[in-house]
Amino acid sequence: MIVYEFKCKGKDKQYRAIDDAIRTSQFIQNKCLRYWMDNKDKKVDKYALNKHCAVLAAEFPFADELNSMARQSAAERAWSAIAGFYDNCKKKVKGKKGFPNFKKYSRSVEYKTSGWKLSPNRKAITFSDKKGIGTLKLKGTYDLNCYDIKQIKRVRLVRRADGYYAQFAVDVDVRIESQPTGQVVGIDLGLKYFIADNKGNVEESPQFYRKAEKQLIRANRKKSKKYDPKKKKAKQPQSTNYHKARGRYARKHLRVSRQRKEYCIRLAYSAIQSNDLVAYEDLNVKGLVRNRHLAKSISDAGWSTFRSWLEYLGHKYGKVTVAVPPHNTSQNCSNCGEKVKKSLSTRTHVCPHCGFVEDRDVNAAINILQRGLSTVGHTGTYAWGDLPSWAVGASLLSSGESLSQESPTL
């Protein structure tokens, strides 16, 4: 499965119709979740939620305006959250199990194989349900003429700060044969250096958020000045200037996230193309960001994004990617194996046992590679035996992002 993304061009009336479809999809998703909560004593599964969509369409006229398969997609989103909660309970995951929550700010609506039709030149798409979206022009560099219509399994309309986008999930084999390089690499993720490998190569952390922080603070301040709390109490809409300032602020954040994503893709692609095996740390990023002193820097680094693209590109080009436990990779000496305790501020590894001196991150990368080579022969490509993060589900993510998305930044 691969996802192509195009920017949609239409009229304001069509954009309002897309917003209406998104709100309806959110309504159906929340109603399905409520139906599951109220009938826990009964057997409520994915098919029961799909049948409940027909009940909602008969009860609410605005729900009946949405395409039937789009209603089913909304029900599937609800079931995806429910199934994830059940899986976490069965696996006895520590902490919160991810009990499904009601959606408050949805940004997308998803159609399956009906309710839309591409133009003969594949440069426009027409939605035929009763929401009145109509025909939207598609702006992008990819050519959908390379694929049969039957290969397009999902179409999603996504609202972002800079406009509306259409995503096409195409059922194709993404694997590409590549020549072996005979090289292996261990990668250590850090804050001073974004990555450091066992050969001593390092990449400085770009810190996109830190560099744009002043502009973001200024834009947020301008937005706050235009906010009227009295209108909030009176349940009146905010001014047009407030919504304009809010849009400018959101577009700045969107630019930072796109910069980080493109940077992670470029580094992951370089690592996969240059090596046959890539070993990296299996970091618990969700736990690490609880450190209030480092949370902003860790979030700015984008470690999870880099890992997701590394696993996806490894699958695509037939390369081995191994996630190894990170425990003591920075403390152990890569030369003699003895443990040398050091604080986070100590950036140079000096072993008192064998006299080995190396940069802290490079020493960790060597240990990661050694663990990765010993892991491959026992547990396979993925160290914990789980699916890689990019392969979780064929449908798109609810935020409108896709880790297998190969479209240019628009």
pLDDT in tens, 12-43: 999 999 999 999 999 999 999 999 999 887 88
Residue 342 has a pLDDT of 81
- Average pLDDT of the residues in 83-89: 92
Average of pLDDT values for 120-132?
A: 92
pLDDT of residue 380: 40
Given a cut of 50, whether residue 253 has pLDDT beyond it is yes
- Residue 221 pLDDT: 96
**In angstroms, rounded to a whole number, what is the distance separating the alpha carbons of residues 213 and 204?**
19
Please answer whether residues 334 and 171 qualify as being in contact, where contact means their C-beta atoms are separated by less than 8 angstroms: no
Q: Hey, where are the domains in the chain?
A: 2-170, 184-209+250-379
For residues 113 and 68, the answer to whether their CB atoms sit within 8 Å is no
Task: Give residue 379's pLDDT band: very low, low, confident or very high (50, 70, 90).
Answer: very low
Whole-number percent of the chain with pLDDT over 70 = 91
Higher per-residue pLDDT: 251 or 364: 251
182/80 Cα distance (integer angstroms): 41
| pLDDT of 214 over the 80 cut | yes
Dihedrals φ, ψ of 328, to 5°?
Answer: 65, 15
User: Looking at the DSSP assignment, which residues form a beta bridge with residue 197?
Assistant: 187
Structure tokens at 158: 């996504």
| Range 328-346 average pLDDT | 82
Q: What is the pLDDT of residue 387?
A: 42
Mean pLDDT of 121-132: 92
Distance CA 390, CA 308 (A): 6
SS3 339: strand
pLDDT of 61: 93
Assigned token pair, 360? 């802290």
pLDDT at 376 (0 to 100): 66
Q: Provide the pLDDT for residue 394.
A: 38
Burial of 352 (0-12, 13-18, 19+ CB in 10 A): exposed
Is residue 406 very low, low, confident or very high in pLDDT (cuts 50, 70, 90)?
low
The tokens of 277 are what?
């095996």
Indicate the average pLDDT of the chain.
86
Residue 73 CA to residue 235 CA, distance in Å, equals: 32
In this structure, what token pair is assigned to residue 352?
């008192």
* Distance, CA of 228 to CA of 242 (rounded, Å): 9
Mean pLDDT of 225-246: 92
Q: CA torsion angle for 75, 80, 85, 87 (degrees, to 10)?
A: 140
pLDDT value at 7 more than 90: yes
- Stretch among 98-107, 137-146, 342-351 having the lowest mean pLDDT: 342-351
Report pLDDT for 392. 36
Asked whether residue 375 carries a pLDDT value surpassing 60, the answer given is: yes
Mean pLDDT, rounded, for 165-169 = 94
Residue 362 has pLDDT above 50, yes or no: yes
Q: Indicate the burial class of 54 (C-beta count within 10 angstroms; 0-12, 13-18, 19 or more).
A: middle
Q: Which of 149-163, 350-364, 370-384 has the highest mean pLDDT?
A: 149-163
Closest C-alpha among 120, 118, 157, 127 to residue 8: 157
**pLDDT, average across residues 390-410:** 44
Q: What is the pLDDT of residue 373?
A: 86
Does residue 345 surpass a pLDDT of 90? no
Kindly report the number of other CB atoms within 10 A of residue 163's CB atom: 15
Report the pLDDT averaged over residues 163-169.
Answer: 94
